[in-house]
Structure 1
């Protein structure tokens, strides 16, 4: 149910089964003695059915998030494909495919922000001020006082570190042909880039 055709907006989801699975997980954690105040659902494909997900619970808060397209492509290419083993043509094809997905997802995120009026917090804004995520969710001072944004954390395959903007490091891993492949895909979508505050020029898009 979860993996088949998960990016389709028309995918059939058993909403009650999803809700039951989450609540069973919460109950298991609580039985182990740990408190659970919030459930965070952040699976990217679920942006395609955000209203269904939001409707599973009596109270929910939506926050939209995206990332610089060049950095997103680089991260996805090295983490989920054989980009490093491909020739130039293969690397271009991979980057074009991921860039097209970024355009599609960015368009959906903009739609959600505009239709639902929910906060938008980009990856770059989050890295600049991690506390902003709590304000975006509307958490009060009592919650903020229990959370440290200065702790070193393990993210994917990076070294343990404090929250750090990895854009420049990620983009630098793409060769020139790949950069141009991404640019060719995103250039016709200047309205999307403007909406999120990104630039077509990768040298200016890394912040």
Structure 2
């Protein structure tokens, strides 16, 4: 599958000057919601991701995503795997399992995001569920920003990666764009376009 073509065709590979949730800046941003708004494409991508996971003999009982960005990808992946789906969400800054969702002691859970950058939110979801007795068996995302090392990729893990190396990460493609600390951002130094936070101003 040409995953980059899916993002390009959906106008989901944005170019400009972006303020990321990490506080860093980038000239590129992946807007997975634009890809996933098409249910047929969402199903195709999730099916391909599920095939990777089952080929590696990972058999979760449940898929969990951190809200909000991972919900569509996680739901479609759960459907492709034939398992139930739940999500965590932040309450007063802490990732929490709410809305009547529960996990069983020892239940095998796969954490799914739309985009894996450093993996911080996915890790918080994993820690939340493990504290409730679940067993996290893998991580997944439609796309990997290249900080964490995914199964089948030649890209090396970077120091910013937060996902544990002891568990596999599955993703359909690497999108290894440069990120900059605000004080080192060449786009800021050029001063042509102010950094915008994705999701605002129509992005």
TM-score by length of structure 2 reads 0.29
Bigger radius of gyration: 1
Higher helix share: 1
TM-score by length of structure 1 reads 0.28
